[in-house]
Copies of this chain bind each other. A is one copy, B any other.
Amino acid sequence: MACVSVGKALRIIALILMCRLVGYLGSSIQLDELLYKPEHSLHHQSFNPQELKSGVVCADGVGVGWYDALGEPFIYRNTIPLWNDTNLEELSHYVKSDCALGYVRLAEAGSTLDMSNCQPFRSDKLLFVHNGAIANFQETLYRPIRSSLSDSTYRLIKGITDSEHIFALLCEYLQSSPKSSLLDALRATLNTLTDMAKEHDTSFSANIIVSDGRSLCASRYAYGTEAPTLYWSTHDVNHPSNVTVASEPLSNQKWLPFAPQSTLFVKAKSLQPLTSVLENAA
């Protein structure tokens, strides 16, 4: 349609804010294998992103989450550029994990940087990172999402990002359907978001990586707009030792793009990635 209303134009601008994500499930590695060592590591992506649709760098915060040998999740977050975080660099040389998420932030201009708005988010065993945006979030789904939550999930929210609210929807689903797989929960969350976006006349993109330590699930999804790119890789399809998901390929090895409106699901036991296309597409 040639005619775009001002509201629509603003919405599109609001949507192009983007972070850079990475997720890993496989044999135990040091975190620096994701954050620093690859040619186009998260560190490199933070100051030299190749597929960022807006902004110049992702310098407004950094976070990493990982599981220890007992399956307990840990997080480290900061509001400074990854490249200035010497503590994170130390940490990444020390921590070994078979499941980890990483994140560098591009925040909305003019906002105060709060640690609580930094990802990954955590609840019980879950770790979660999100790249994308709900268009005009404060005016559209902010209050409706909160209103839909049970008291216990409502109280989990510490910040004001759309990302944390999407995570709250996912937690809410798992609270009411505790036997669901992560994939079911992520799909249900995207469906709920899509329904809400339709009802409140907005759009969103939701590239998500979520894990419980035993499985990892990722989505490239959007409603009413285009989703950012997302890639995944496994060294050897027949004998995979890991599955890695990232906003941009970390290296020159073989990386596959996520199809639009698709998910990837992988369990630690098998390391066989299962990709599927979502039906409830825009």
- A-side residues, CB < 8 A to B, are 47-48, 55-57, 59-60, 68, 72, 74-81, 83-84, 86-87, 89-91, 93-95, 107, 109-117, 138-139, 142-143, 146, 151, 154-155, 157-160
Contacts and interface: CB of A to CB of B under 8 A. Distances in A.
14 contacts: A47-B55, A47-B57, A60-B81, A72-B93, A74-B90, A76-B91, A78-B87, A84-B113, A86-B110, A87-B87, A112-B158, A113-B115, A114-B116, A116-B116
A115 to B, nearest CB: 5
Contacts of A159: 114
Nearest to A94: B74
Nearest to A151: B143
Contact of A154 (B91, B111, B114, B143): B143
A75 B173 CA distance: 40
Nearest to A55: B47
Nearest to A90: B74
A157 to B, nearest CB: 8
A268 to B, nearest CB: 19
Contact of A84 (B60, B91, B143): B60
Contact of A95 (B75, B84, B94): B94
Nearest to A115: B112
Query: Which 9 residue pairs spanning A and B have beta carbons closest together?
Result: A114-B114, A112-B115, A59-B59, A138-B155, A114-B116, A86-B112, A74-B94, A74-B90, A47-B56
Contacts of A113: 80, 84, 115
Contacts of A81: 59-60, 81
B80 A87 contact: no
A57 to B, nearest CB: 5
Of the listed residues A89, A114, A139, the one surrounded by the most CB atoms of chain B closer than 10 A to its CB is A114
A159 to B, nearest CB: 8
Given A83-B109, A158-B160, A160-B158, A74 B59 contact: no
Contacts of A112: 86, 114-116, 158
Contacts of A57: 47, 56-57, 59
A124 to B, nearest CB: 15
A1 B240 CA distance: 53
A55 B83 CA distance: 12
